[in-house]
Homo-oligomer: A and B are copies of this chain.
Amino acid sequence: MANNELSSLRVKDIGEQGLLAKLQRFCPQEMIGDDAAVLVTTPGKSLVVTTDVLVDNVHFSNLTTSPEDAGWRAAAANLSDLAAMGATPLGIAVGLGLPEDTSVDWVERMYQGMTQCLQRYNTPIVGGDIVRSPVVTLSITAFGQADGDRIIRRSAAQVGYAIAITGIHGASRAGLELLLNPQICQNLKEAEKAALIASHQRPKPRLDVLPILWEICPSIIPVAGMDSSDGLADAVLQICRASNLGAILEAKQIPLPAAFNNWLTPEQALNYALYGGEDFELVLCLPQYQASALVQQLGENAAIIGTITSGTSVLLHHENAEIPDQVLTLSQGFQHF
């Protein structure tokens, strides 16, 4: 990129958020700020579009990820973005950049993992592009369909809404830890280890939540939400920022993997749950009554973990009265640059 006419400011100087801010002026305002963009195609119907780019050694690595798992995870992440918007998948397009010495086996096995995940949700691969590149790059664009009044947006939270999550958090981060350091935590049972590792390698997009949610919530009630792919704390913070509101979370209400009791301190466990990321659950904000009904119907590890408040701060409240409330911030989350 040597070009003397260009100014010397580099992407690393302004970071991901700084670059996004500069590029957002090229997009229509209403397309910005959710997991996916929404295009009204025919009256009452919306096309929901989301893109993820994954780069070898940045987003996946052969150390912890088989080709099948890399494919599964990429597909799951995109389907989860559709679920986060309330959309049912129509298909995905796959752009693939490959060095010419890439193993054909690797590519086929990655596609196998991707289609294993997609088939569970009746989602076809509808073509794409394959090109030569110095680094393995996987670019997935998923598109889905939603009813015009059934879109879940980050900005739709209201004061007094319950914050419901659809499952346990921290499991994916713990699974990654076990893959990187197989010798740690000898007192976990093999089945517990396997379950945590599976959470990391084969996350499940929560598309199953949508029909239950729409059954409980009449379309006149706006539902706010997103997925917890970048961490539970990040999800609550993003929803609050987009809605210009705050939240209070109850630490003891956050469902954790049972195996954490034999392994992590309460602080470590909470840290994995809030900042670990990649659990791909939904974080939904809706009226208390509907939230209770949703959590009850989802069963297992769904829970109401807090309430949307006026103000703009997100507080974490601990059961132990000696621990002061913590203010959660976005800067503790993951940044791409």
Evaluate contact between A104 and B39: CB separation under 8 angstroms.
no
Q: Give the CA-CA distance A51 to B42 in the complex, in Å.
A: 23
Quote the shortest CB–CB distance from A50 to chain B (angstroms). 7
Does any Cβ of B come within 8 Å of A259's Cβ? no
Q: Give the CA-CA distance A45 to B43 in the complex, in Å.
A: 12
Does any Cβ of B come within 8 Å of A58's Cβ? yes
Q: Give the CA-CA distance A107 to B243 in the complex, in Å.
A: 30
Evaluate contact between A90 and B58: CB separation under 8 angstroms.
no
- B-contacting 9-mer, from A18-26, A157-165, A188-196, A263-271: A18-26
Chain B, Cβ-Cβ closest to A111: B26
Q: Give the CA-CA distance A94 to B105 in the complex, in Å.
A: 28
8 A Cβ contacts from A8-43 to B: 8-14, 16, 19-20, 22-23, 26-28, 31-32, 36-37, 39, 41-42
Chain B, Cβ-Cβ closest to A53: B95
Quote the shortest CB–CB distance from A242 to chain B (angstroms). 14
Q: Give the CA-CA distance A131 to B53 in the complex, in Å.
A: 7
Does any Cβ of B come within 8 Å of A124's Cβ? yes
Interface size band for A: 35 or more
Convert A144-173 into 0s and 1s, putting 1 for each residue whose CB lies closer than 8 angstroms to a CB of B.
Answer: 010000000000000000000000000000
- B-contacting 9-mer, from A132-140, A304-312, A314-322: A132-140
Chain B, Cβ-Cβ closest to A11: B102
Q: Give the CA-CA distance A14 to B127 in the complex, in Å.
A: 20
A41's partner among B22, B90, B109 (CB-CB below 8 A) is B90
Q: Assuming A90-B41, A97-B53, is B104 touching A19 (CB within 8 A)?
A: yes
Quote the shortest CB–CB distance from A36 to chain B (angstroms). 7
Q: Which residues of B contact A50 (CB under 8 A)?
A: 93, 127
Q: Assuming A130-B20, A130-B23, A143-B143, is B3 touching A93 (CB within 8 A)?
A: no
Quote the shortest CB–CB distance from A324 to chain B (angstroms). 36
Does any Cβ of B come within 8 Å of A289's Cβ? no
Across the A-B interface, the 9 shortest Cβ-Cβ residue pairs: A37-B126, A139-B139, A141-B141, A12-B100, A53-B95, A37-B127, A6-B105, A6-B103, A51-B93
